[in-house]
Amino acid sequence: MHTPRLGQRDLFPALEVDVYLNHAAISPPSVAVRAEVLACLDGYSRQGVAWFSRASERRQRLRAALAGLMGVDAAHVALVPNTSAGVVDIALCLPWQPGDRILLFRGEFPTNITPWQVAAARHGLELVWMDADDFRLDRDRALKELARHLAAGIRLVAVSVVQFSTGQRMPMAAFGALCEKYGAELFVDAIQCLGGAPLDVAGLGIHYLSAGGHKWLMGPEGTGVLYVAPQCAAALRPEVAAWLSHESPFEFLFKGPGHLVYDRSIVAGARLVEGGAFNVLGVAGLEASVGLISQLGVEHIYAHVQAWHDAIEPELAARGFVSGRMADPDGRSGILSTQPPGTAGAAAWARALADHGVSCASPDGWLRMAPHWPNAIAETTRVVAAIDSILAAGGPPA
């Protein structure tokens, strides 16, 4: 049993980076994740198919653990290979009518745009656009605009809970309430939130959620979760159904002849997308990382990460970095993004910081720092020293 401690990275002994601030990109596996992945591989190495029942039980446990993080029932949760797969599945399975309107947000990660564009081209849907950043710059005005669009008739709103570039947490309670008022459905990409910040999915009125496992959930790539609200399950069309989407899909393998039939009913809701053999190694790793997160408690992790941001944000401001973090705590997340001073740009700053042992990112022109539970607050001093040294050298090399 591994015991995680906030601000301690003793479960990451192999990590070669001095200060790892890229949990919004890919989290490195902890020793707990590595151990479970290797144990699963060993199990299959020793027993082959006999290990499958353990992998299957683990899958059920993981669905329940992820449901717990979201405050929903595990019956409405499926495991998917990544965020994109969950978006594509819902975009394919929704019973669209020609002319249905989807509200999208400029500035979103493309995962939550492309599948809706494809659905629009296929079914003759209309895409309506707002700017995600308007909700950071003038939230009240943007919410009024959102209400105007919804009042004009929107079938589905597709938005990320946390914007990948600025780190803005979108006003999900207002989104949920407005969608309910105007009869729209709410789809969220939660990969930049789940595991790093609390998310009351049922309470917020979210209808569909997709989130990959390799960022704030700290599992391996190739894992993820899809939630479908119970009231939406029956309407989904089984456009992505395959052999494991059926009720009792294994009977023809174990019950003798006569069970190989092709008209078994297909499960309704999220589980219909679990159509075939799954990523057992990834699921083993994700169960381990979610276990550590649950031991610590997402509320505590979030408070710790905010303390990290609080420690560095004024230091950055004093050096000319303009923070994108909202003054309103409701608009914050695990991501602290800034616009660096001078003309070098965020990408050059990220490269220069990497040379000083600090791993961060530069999505869409923002310098993004994304610490998680293993990051010590004291690391902020190290990051500031790296920045001072880059500034003393005249800024990052071009």
Ligand X SMILES: Cc1ncc(COP(=O)(O)O)c(C=O)c1O
Give the Cα separation of 274 and 7 in Å (integer).
36
Stretch that binds ligand X, among 185-193, 263-271, 298-306, 323-331 (CB under 6 A): 185-193
Nearer to ligand X among residue 158 and residue 358 (C-beta): 158
* Residue given tokens 């992790």 in the structure block: 301
Give the Cα separation of 278 and 340 in Å (integer).
43
- CA-closest candidate to residue 364, choices 347, 340, 343: 347
Nearer to ligand X among residue 164 and residue 308 (C-beta): 164
**Binding residue (CB under 6 A) for ligand X from 22, 27, 82, 289:** 82
Least separation in angstroms between CB 207 and ligand X: 18
Residue 208 carries which DSSP code?
A: E
Nearer to ligand X among residue 358 and residue 370 (C-beta): 370
The answer to whether 326 and 168 are in contact (CB under 8 A) is: yes
Least separation in angstroms between CB 334 and ligand X: 12
The size of the interface with ligand X (CB under 6 A), counted in residues, is 12
Residue 364 carries which DSSP code?
A: G
Residue 169 carries which DSSP code?
A: B
Q: Is 338 in the site for ligand X (CB under 6 A)?
A: no
Nearer to ligand X among residue 246 and residue 372 (C-beta): 372
Nearer to ligand X among residue 25 and residue 147 (C-beta): 25
Q: Is 333 in the site for ligand X (CB under 6 A)?
A: no
In 10 A of CB 50, how many CB atoms? 10
Q: Is 189 in the site for ligand X (CB under 6 A)?
A: yes
> Residue 338 is encoded by which pair of tokens?
């800034």
Question: Can you spell out the DSSP letters for 221-271?
Answer: SS-EEEEE-HHHHTT---TT--GGGBSSTTHHHHS-TT---S-PPBPPSGG
> Residue 185 is encoded by which pair of tokens?
């459905």
Q: Is 160 in the site for ligand X (CB under 6 A)?
A: yes
**Binding residue (CB under 6 A) for ligand X from 164, 278, 308, 366:** 164
Q: Is 109 in the site for ligand X (CB under 6 A)?
A: yes
* x/- letters, 200..219, toward ligand X (CB under 6 A): ------------x-------
Least separation in angstroms between CB 111 and ligand X: 4
Least separation in angstroms between CB 390 and ligand X: 26
Stretch that binds ligand X, among 34-42, 188-196, 255-263, 321-329 (CB under 6 A): 188-196
**Binding residue (CB under 6 A) for ligand X from 22, 30, 111, 279:** 111
> Residue 396 is encoded by which pair of tokens?
């990052």
In 10 A of CB 148, how many CB atoms? 10
In 10 A of CB 251, how many CB atoms? 15
Helix axes 280-296, 31-47, angle to 10 degrees: 150
> Residue 224 is encoded by which pair of tokens?
């993820």
**Binding residue (CB under 6 A) for ligand X from 27, 192, 279, 333:** 192
Least separation in angstroms between CB 187 and ligand X: 12
- CA-closest candidate to residue 85, choices 288, 240, 205, 247: 240
Give the Cα separation of 140 and 122 in Å (integer).
35
Nearer to ligand X among residue 158 and residue 390 (C-beta): 158
Q: Is 168 in the site for ligand X (CB under 6 A)?
A: no
Least separation in angstroms between CB 82 and ligand X: 3
367-369 vs 224-228, strand pairing mode: unpaired
Helix (H, G, I), strand (E, B) or coil at 19: strand
Stretch that binds ligand X, among 29-37, 76-84, 169-177, 376-384 (CB under 6 A): 76-84
- The residue of the chain with the least Cβ separation from ligand X equals 212
Instruction: Provide the terminal-to-terminal Cα distance of the chain, rounded to the nearest Å.
Output: 47
Q: Is 362 in the site for ligand X (CB under 6 A)?
A: no
Q: Is 89 in the site for ligand X (CB under 6 A)?
A: no
Q: Is 289 in the site for ligand X (CB under 6 A)?
A: no
* x/- letters, 29..68, toward ligand X (CB under 6 A): ----------------------------------------
Give the Cα separation of 93 and 90 in Å (integer).
5
Nearer to ligand X among residue 100 and residue 189 (C-beta): 189
Contact residues for ligand X, defined by CB under 6 A: 82-84, 109, 111, 160, 164, 189, 191-192, 212, 224
